[in-house]
Amino acid sequence: MQFHLNGFKPGNYQIPDAARKPYPAPKIEELPSEVDVLIIGTGPAGLTMARQMSEFEDISTCITDMAPGPLLFGRADGISCRTIEIMEAFNASEMVVKETYQLKQNTFWEPDPANPENIKRTEKIADARAGLSEFTHGIVNQARLHELLIEGMANTVSNLKPHYSRELLELQVDESLTQDLSAYPITATFKRTDEAGNGKIEQIKARFAVGCDGARSRVRKSLDINLIGDSANKAWGVMDILLNTDFPDIRIKSFIQSKEHGAVMTIPREGGYLIRFYIELGTIDPEMRASELELTEKDLIAQAQKIFHPFTLDVKEVAWWSIYSVGQRLAERFDDRPLGSEADVIPRAFVAGDACHTHSPKGGWGLNTSLPDTFNLGWKLASVLQGKCHPKLLDTYSTERRKVANQLINADRELSKLVATRPAADDKSEQAKIDTAEIEAFMKRQSGFVSGTSIEYFPSYICTGQEHQHLAPGFKIGQRFHSAIATRIADGRNQQLGHLVKADGRWRIFLFGGEQDPRDNSSDSFQFVNFMANDKRSPVNKYTPKDADIDSLIDTYAIFQQSDLTMPELPDYLWPAKGKYGLKDYEKIYHSQDGHDIYGARDINRETGCVVIVRPDQHIAAILPVNAHDELASFFDYFMLACD
């Protein structure tokens, strides 16, 4: 898709440039006095949390922001493969894929040895992230991603919408109430910032609160959570521009080093015309904010023109620009509990996204780490509020996501040093120098992390069964379920199995049958299905409400190697009757064939098969032998609560 030809215009890219208009000011409505979940901040973390909560009609949610309305200009615009997978869980990946500018190549430019005042391309390579997902890493306006999440919230049964123009003044936690799950220990005080509100003070009481309010988070400060790490001492400029240039790689992500004037990283933006520049500016005092530098967009353009010599940059429009500083900091804890608290101490307030990890934007990790923060937390909080899981499950949010944030901080620190030609304040050398070979090696080494596909959670009771990993090495326990195609038996349609794991709070069990015929009553697959359907120890029978569909809590899919199967030959559990009419579900049974051999693609043991348990956030919780009925029951028994 092409847009922005005659100037940058925010909004819905499905509407032509000439007809696209600014969003109308959102209607200001009264805040509720009491909610189950209060979310502060409408960035990617906050909106993802709200989008997840909006799926549950029985959970009351409120999301607020100090801004007067939705984001219009992009800040973090890189969309990783994993982020698009998450958007698929919200049924919104199609529009992201359609509008995203796909990054296919990288180029590296250095001073020309024959004429060092000029830059010269040293290498052009394919993007290292190709093939890590069915989706491609790309670029799209962050505001557009926000819009898709907001539309999704509004279109659920909850009809959830953000409350704008609310400045959080204070968030208090009543410690005497935190261990009573039915209590409302959170009190948040807001001030209306719109003209009509005239500074009106409002209060909300909540059972849980999630602070997604950015690097200067008032929620984090209210919870007395410290940020630990390096102070900012490098300044960079960033701008989105429409320009004409004779630089040959303007539509390719490029790392450019000049001899005397610093470095630039360019990223082609969506629409075919817009370009983002990250421009090195030099060192600043650690106590100084980058916003205090007396620079304008004209200064950034002038600096970029020096770096690009001998190529010309004729900038026609600056859609957005900013100055930022590079510092890497990590919150000491991600919830309101004191450090060292036991897992059964219930946290009632959480921080996510930039509120608990700050870094530079060059790696494209900010949005792509913030959004999965709350994708991890959302289903856990919902299952506890709905009485499905023990509250100790909430302890795993901090454990799992703080590990990822720590990896992010370390990777960003390394990348920031690699792409800076001028020494930082703590660098005693006279001159730092970009080694493009090192950058290339770094990007290859970090490709799985950058794409989000290799994010792996520590072994725990919801990431277990490592002793059975050999049954399917291509489905790594703790990482997301790596989608692959299988063929549906009922109609022959090819299906990405990962797209079956929607953000609806349900667990998925994938049965990969072995060589035995599943129609044989003595086969492991038949016995597994019989256990799930009929045994009183089965988690389906033990934890599914009696008046609910059989797959309302645990959704089972079967993939077999035999291609001559028909639905009536297989147990009813695999094509159950559901809904008020008892209609049969024909979309749970698949087979693997030569054209789409999932057994080969994920190295699944063909002789024995296996069972893969997938969490509601698409991460693999366990791999078990098909006949390990007791182990499967014990897995769910550890944290699930029986129905009344």
Q: What is the pLDDT of residue 426?
A: 46
Whether 52 is covered by a domain: the verdict is: yes
Whether 39 is covered by a domain: the verdict is: yes
- Helices (DSSP H) in 232-365: which residue ranges? 297-307
User: How many C-beta atoms lie closer than 10 Å to residue 586's C-beta?
Assistant: 12
Q: What is the CATH number of the domain that holds 44?
A: 3.50.50.60
Q: Judge if 38 and 80 occupy the same domain.
A: yes
- Helices (DSSP H) in 520-611: which residue ranges? 524-534, 539-543, 598-601
Whether 28 is covered by a domain: the verdict is: no
Q: Judge if 533 and 633 occupy the same domain.
A: yes
Q: Judge if 122 and 151 occupy the same domain.
A: no
Helix or strand or coil: residue 76?
coil
Q: Judge if 195 and 293 occupy the same domain.
A: no
Whether 595 is covered by a domain: the verdict is: yes
Q: What is the CATH number of the domain that holds 543?
A: 3.40.30.20
CA–CA dist 334, 437 (Å, integer) = 36
94-113 pLDDT tens trace: 999 998 999 889 999 999 99
Q: What is the pLDDT of residue 578?
A: 97
* Angle formed at CA 430 by CA 429 and CA 432, multiple of 5 degrees: 70
Q: What is the pLDDT of residue 597?
A: 95
Q: What is the CATH number of the domain that holds 300?
A: 3.30.9.10
468-479 pLDDT tens trace: 999 999 999 999
Q: Judge if 395 and 300 occupy the same domain.
A: no
Whether 16 is covered by a domain: the verdict is: no
CA–CA dist 448, 188 (Å, integer) = 39
Q: What is the pLDDT of residue 594?
A: 76
Q: Judge if 543 and 606 occupy the same domain.
A: yes
Alpha-carbon distances, residue 114 vs 117, 120, 306, 516 (angstroms): 9, 10, 18, 68
From 254, 256, 261, 321, select the one nearest 290 (Cα to Cα): 321
Q: Judge if 536 and 435 occupy the same domain.
A: no
Q: Judge if 288 and 206 occupy the same domain.
A: no
Q: Is omega for the bond preceding 616 within 30 degrees of 0, making it cis?
A: no
Eight-state DSSP code of residue 185: -
Q: What is the pLDDT of residue 427?
A: 47
Q: Judge if 492 and 515 occupy the same domain.
A: yes
Bridge-partner residues for 274, per DSSP? Answer: 242
Q: What is the pLDDT of residue 441?
A: 80
Q: Judge if 114 and 51 occupy the same domain.
A: no
Whether 174 is covered by a domain: the verdict is: yes
Provide the mean pLDDT of the chain: 92
Q: What is the pLDDT of residue 413?
A: 79
Q: Judge if 80 and 221 occupy the same domain.
A: yes
**pLDDT under 50: residue ranges of the chain:** 422-432
Q: What is the pLDDT of residue 341?
A: 95
Q: What is the pLDDT of residue 429?
A: 44
Whether 26 is covered by a domain: the verdict is: no
Q: Is the pTM of this model over 0.85?
A: yes
Range of the domain at 198: 34-100+137-230+330-408
Number of domains in the chain: 3
User: How many C-beta atoms lie closer than 10 Å to residue 178's C-beta?
Assistant: 18
Whether 23 is covered by a domain: the verdict is: no
Q: In what order do the strands lie in the sheet with 329-331?
A: 227-229, 329-331, 357-358
Q: Judge if 442 and 365 occupy the same domain.
A: no
